[in-house]
Amino acid sequence: MPISAFAPPCALAERNYSEPTPIQVRAIPLLLDDEDMLGIAQTGTGKTAAFALPALQILAPTRELAIQIAGDLKAYGKHMKLRLGVIFGGVSQNSQVAMLRRGVDILVATPGRLLDLMQQGHADLRDVQLLVLDEADRMLDMGFIRDVRKISAAVPEDRQSLLFSATMPGEVTKLAREILYQPQRIDIAPKTIAVEATDQSVHFIDAAAKLPLLCDLMVNAALSRVLVFTRTKHRANRVAVSLCDPAEFGFLRGIEKLIGREVALASGERLSHVIPFKQGGRGRNGGNGGRSNKQAPKPQGARRPRRRGGAMRRGA
């Protein structure tokens, strides 16, 4: 069945969409029948279109993912008269509050900022008809589950609810039971997380040998763009200044203003390498290139819940 059966064909043609992915085939008819749904699917399976094409009002764990989803929604609804809003932390709330006062049909938000705006009285969710939680396991990792529960409690009980997650840890399973009503379960999760087209290798070396090895790896002309992950921004600085030409590197740091981070990401065609200090960009397509974890990640249980930065609250 062509995907145009589920959405405006003009917008889909402009995105070069012709055939729906497995999760879209199974999810979209259920959503059109007003069913609650639990979708288990990895990034890149087409799940954004699966929940975006039938209807819309979404929580995403990170600002990058919220911006990405809002961009997709804008493209899908290009020929429809829909008012789309996106809110996230790390920037001034003023323009977001003004947008909410004007009213929106579709709102994409990160939990922390949305809850702040609600508590300030700027966001009123009493008329929400559809609530979508995307990447719920990431929200758990980042300490947002409590915020999600508060937001869910502010939405009408007779809403339609969708929850998407790449994995189903116990707390996410518990959340699904709390917010979904007799949901249809769709499991598109692969048996293996690794992408088959990706060559992977592990180097067991002393700490002092990491930078020389990294430099040797980067002389490979086939790697047009490289992501190097470090544990902290200070180590990211050290790696960047130690590599051959620091001027070529884009620095993604959590303390930078959002506009700086987005410019660095959008400049991927011009930058040879990008060095983020943490893996916070799941769902972001970095194009062809390589990825290097300069340090082995800590076990998930060792992560600290992310603290919400900034103030703000209210919108609808």
Same domain, 179 and 237: no
| Each residue's pLDDT tens digit, 196-226 | 667 788 889 888 888 888 888 877 777 777 7
Q: What's residue 3's pLDDT?
A: 44
Token code pair at residue 122: 């700027």
Contact 59, 109 (CB under 8 A): yes
Lowest mean pLDDT among 90-99, 182-191, 282-291: 282-291
Q: What is the CATH number of the domain that holds 177?
A: 3.40.50.300
Contact 224, 288 (CB under 8 A): yes
Same domain, 178 and 230: no
Number of domains in the chain: 2
Q: What's residue 314's pLDDT?
A: 36
Same domain, 69 and 175: yes
Same domain, 27 and 172: yes
What is the percentage of the chain residues whose pLDDT exceeds 70? 66
Range of 76's domain? 3-187
Q: What's residue 93's pLDDT?
A: 95
Contact 20, 1 (CB under 8 A): yes
| Each residue's pLDDT tens digit, 92-124 | 999 999 999 999 988 999 999 999 999 999 999
Tell me the one-letter amino acid at 169.
P
pTM, full prediction: 0.61
- Asked if the structure places residue 94 within a domain, the reply is yes
Distance, in Å, from the CA atom of 114 to the CA atom of 16, rounded to the nearest integer, reads 33
